[in-house]
């Protein structure tokens, strides 16, 4: 069975409403019918606008960048999974390294967020990845295996089948220093083996594993041509119409 291909754009904390509107209009007008599913992940306050701009755009869906672990209540400033669902969101990025680093998100907290998102019928894009010292020490595979098992291995096979994994080496995020296609393939293949050990080969074979970290129009095709790289989670380059469209066409 062929695996789902995904090009996801993580806008992070960028673009005003007007800038976001112009970007989405330009993307949907020029994308045609994309070969991969294109998931746009704007800031929370852009979600409903982007949802209406995507009406009728083939192959595009909407993602959020985070979600609170509780369903509702006195959590000033937070956004819940039911709210995201009501805005037409289908995917939620969880465990981005920026959330882990700047907002103290732990593996255990992320396990709760994953549960909440799945309960609402949304699909987590679960991020993992090692910092530079861990890569240099050579323990990067063990590091990523530990992140995945701590936050995802409590799931039933049925729930796990909705997960998308994004491998984002921290040293490659926003640095212009991309993992080589071989480095990405090595890790993606290790992740797939780990999933096979725990959930079986069939599940491992159908789980999309995206690469993130300085993906651009020039390197996307060589990354996406690796057998275990099923697409990308793109930061900076997803804010530029032509650059992101080229990435979307790199499958």
Catalytic residues: 96, 168
Binders of ligand 13P among residues 158 to 177 (CB under 6 A) are 168, 173-174
Rank residues 159 and 251 by Cβ distance to ligand 13P and give the closer one: 251
Name the DSSP letter for residue 70: S
- The whole-angstrom separation of Cα 212 and Cα 112 is 23
Rank residues 80 and 214 by Cβ distance to ligand 13P and give the closer one: 214
The CB-of-132 to ligand 13P minimum distance in angstroms stands at: 14
| Cα 139 to Cα 8, 16, 134, distances in angstroms | 28, 40, 6
Nearby residues of 216 by Cβ (< 8 Å), 6 or more positions away: 178, 236, 237, 243, 247
Nearby residues of 30 by Cβ (< 8 Å), 6 or more positions away: 241, 245
The CB-of-51 to ligand 13P minimum distance in angstroms stands at: 20
**Residue from the set 152, 233, 245, 247 that interacts with ligand 13P by CB under 6 A:** 233
Reduced to 3 states, what is the DSSP secondary structure of residue 190? helix
The CB-of-101 to ligand 13P minimum distance in angstroms stands at: 11
Which residue, chain included where needed, has tokens 């995020």? 173
Is the separation of the CB atoms in 52 and 63 below 8 Å? no
**Residue from the set 63, 95, 124, 235 that interacts with ligand 13P by CB under 6 A:** 235
The CB-of-158 to ligand 13P minimum distance in angstroms stands at: 27
Rank residues 185 and 238 by Cβ distance to ligand 13P and give the closer one: 238
Rank residues 125 and 199 by Cβ distance to ligand 13P and give the closer one: 125
- The whole-angstrom separation of Cα 160 and Cα 177 is 31
Number of residues in contact with ligand 13P under rule CB under 6 A? 14
Is residue 80 a contact residue for ligand 13P (CB under 6 A)? no
Is the separation of the CB atoms in 2 and 251 below 8 Å? no
Which residue, chain included where needed, has tokens 């083939």? 58
- The mark string for 189-218 relative to ligand 13P (x by CB under 6 A, - otherwise) is -----------------------xxxx---
Rank residues 199 and 208 by Cβ distance to ligand 13P and give the closer one: 208
The CB-of-170 to ligand 13P minimum distance in angstroms stands at: 9
Secondary structure element (H or E) that encloses residue 10, with its range = strand 6-10
Reduced to 3 states, what is the DSSP secondary structure of residue 164? strand
Residues in contact with ligand 13P by CB under 6 A are 10, 96, 168, 173-174, 212-215, 233-237
């Amino acid at each position: 069975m062929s695996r789902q291909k995904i090009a996801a754009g993580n806008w992070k904390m960028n673009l005003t409403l007007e800038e976001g509107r112009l970007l989405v209009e330009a993307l949907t007008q020029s994308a045609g019918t994309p070969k991969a599913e294109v998931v746009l992940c704007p800031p929370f306050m852009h979600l409903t606008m982007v949802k209406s701009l995507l009406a009728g755009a083939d192959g595009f869906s909407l993602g959020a960048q985070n979600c609170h672990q509780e369903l509702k209540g006195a959590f000033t400033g937070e956004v819940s999974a039911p709210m995201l669902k009501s805005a037409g969101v289908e995917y939620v990025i969880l465990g981005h390294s920026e959330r882990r680093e700047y907002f103290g998100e732990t593996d255990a907290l992320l396990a709760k967020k994953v549960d909440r998102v799945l309960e609402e019928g949304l699909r987590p894009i679960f991020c993992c990845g090692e910092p530079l010292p861990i890569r240099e020490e050579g323990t990067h595979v063990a590091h990523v295996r530990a992140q995945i098992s701590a936050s995802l291995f409590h799931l039933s096979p049925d729930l796990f089948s909705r997960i998308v994994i994004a491998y984002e080496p921290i040293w490659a995020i926003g640095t212009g220093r991309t993992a080589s296609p071989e480095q990405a393939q090595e890790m993606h293949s290790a992740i797939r083996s780990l999933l096979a050990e725990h959930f079986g080969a069939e599940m491992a074979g159908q789980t999309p594993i995206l690469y993130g970290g300085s993906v651009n129009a020039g390197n996307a095709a060589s990354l996406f041509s690796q057998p275990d790289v099923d697409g990308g989670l793109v930061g900076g380059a997803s804010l530029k119409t032509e650059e992101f469209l080229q990435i979307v066409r790199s499958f």
